[in-house]
Amino acid sequence: MSFHTYALAEERNLRVVVRGLPKELETEHILSDLKSQNLPVREVHRMHHPTDKKRYLDLCLVILDLSPEGKEIYNIRRICNLTGITVEAPRNRGIVGQCHRCQLYGHSAKNCYAKPRCVKCLGDHGTPECTRTPESEGPPSCVLCGEAGHPANYRGCTKAPRRKWRGGANRRGRAASASRSRPRQHAPSLAPILVSQPAPPQPHTKPAPAKGSSGQGVSSSVPSAPASNAWVKPPAIVSAAASRPAPSLQAQKPKLAPQASSTFAADFSLVCSFFNNINVAEVSSLARKLREAKSAQDKLNATIEHINLIDAIGSFQCA
């Protein structure tokens, strides 16, 4: 009896994709390194290009126990002393899985107990036992549809399930195509309604009686025109202050700076007279020698050397 089962939740494995591992790195080294990091790893497989199985990628599929210890693989930062790796969940491409034992879709070979069937021919044997080669027996045959020209894992087979599109763009595309195929419904015209609707009744207004020459009231249905147009904006009111002429500006003479006081002039004259009679450089030289003098005799010698300066200072008289 042919049947298949499904794995329980506690029997399922954790599958992750490790990105950034060089193609030259063997999967055995990756497996041993992950186990050395106390990760419950079961299998490591090198991933290849979808259309070329000999074109390996820098991606590896790692299968671990579905446990808290197995989920620690998302926290590792180094494998085989290589950094720059990323661990991510496998991407769901929306393709139904195919059993490699009976070639049917919807379950895996691990839980399949059906009779093995070959993926390349119509023989009563499994795929590993098939001795057929393309050079000897021509194109393959499909055990699902019975036609020759493609194997049983060909996604274009009439028995293969179609891809389940999950993208939002595809849903929007299908919604747009459905809206285009739906017949357009025009809004009903409002012209008949507007034509058939009667005009609203006008209110009755009784004009005020006007006295004629005979003194009797004369009725008139035409109201008198207003004295002024209420919609015309009245002219702006010009204030009295704005109507006054601007005062004329008379040229004013610039104010003269105050003259220097006589006291400042006398002080300035005194300073100039002092610097003319006293040699400032000689004053600096005398002060330097007095600072450098180490004894009273040295100070006396400096004073005698500049005796003329001392006499000039003593004989200076204020004007």
Q: Which residue has the higher pLDDT, 243 or 47?
A: 47
- pLDDT of residue 74 exceeding 50, the answer is yes
* CB-based contact 184:114 (threshold 8 Å): no
**Model confidence at 181, in pLDDT bands (50, 70, 90)?**
very low
DSSP 146: -
Q: What is the pLDDT of residue 16?
A: 95
Report DSSP letters for 75-125, one per residue: G---BTTB-S-EEEPPP--S---B-TTT--BSS-GGGB-SPP--SSSSSSS
- pLDDT of residue 220 exceeding 80, the answer is no
pLDDT in tens, 251-306: 566 665 555 556 877 777 777 777 777 777 888 888 888 888 888 888 888 888 88
Architecture label for domain 9-88: 2-Layer Sandwich (3.30)
Backbone dihedral region of 38: left (phi > 0), alpha (psi from -120 to 50 degrees) or beta? left
Q: Which residue has the higher pLDDT, 270 or 117?
A: 117
User: Which segment of 36-50, 72-86, 205-219, 243-257 scores lowest on mean pLDDT?
Assistant: 205-219
* CB-based contact 18:85 (threshold 8 Å): yes
Cβ–Cβ contacts within 10 Å for residue 47, how many? 16
* CB-based contact 120:151 (threshold 8 Å): yes
* CB-based contact 279:309 (threshold 8 Å): yes
**Model confidence at 192, in pLDDT bands (50, 70, 90)?**
very low
Q: Which of 54, 50, 71 is CA-nearest to residue 62?
A: 71
- CA separation for the pair 232, 236 (Å, rounded): 12
- pLDDT of residue 137 exceeding 80, the answer is no
Provide long-range contacts, Cβ within 8 A and 24+ apart, for 39-43: 39/64, 39/69, 39/70, 39/72, 39/73, 39/76, 40/64, 40/65, 40/67, 40/69, 40/70, 42/13
List the beta bridge partners of residue 141.
148
3-state secondary structure of 11: helix
Q: What is the pLDDT of residue 10?
A: 57
The mean per-residue pLDDT over the stretch 115-139 comes to 85
- CA separation for the pair 280, 209 (Å, rounded): 117
User: Which segment of 56-60, 206-210, 224-228 scores lowest on mean pLDDT?
Assistant: 206-210
Q: What is the pLDDT of residue 85?
A: 92
Most confident of 67-76, 124-133, 224-233, 277-286: 67-76
Most confident of 103-112, 185-194, 207-216: 103-112
Q: Which of 64, 109, 67 is CA-nearest to residue 87?
A: 64
- pLDDT of residue 244 exceeding 60, the answer is yes
Angle at 88 between CA 86 and CA 92, to 5 degrees: 145
**Model confidence at 39, in pLDDT bands (50, 70, 90)?**
very high
Amino acid at site 166: R
Q: Which of 146, 147, 148 is CA-nearest to residue 138?
A: 148
Mean pLDDT of the chain: 76
Query: End-to-end distance of the chain based on CA atoms, in angstroms?
Result: 142
User: What length does the chain have?
Assistant: 319
Q: Which residue has the higher pLDDT, 313 or 245?
A: 313
- CA separation for the pair 72, 37 (Å, rounded): 10
Q: What is the pLDDT of residue 218?
A: 46
pLDDT in tens, 12-27: 789 999 999 999 999 9
- CA separation for the pair 138, 94 (Å, rounded): 32
User: Which segment of 48-57, 165-174, 251-260 scores lowest on mean pLDDT?
Assistant: 165-174
- CA separation for the pair 21, 45 (Å, rounded): 12
Q: What is the pLDDT of residue 78?
A: 92
Boundaries of every domain in the chain: 9-88, 93-166, 268-315
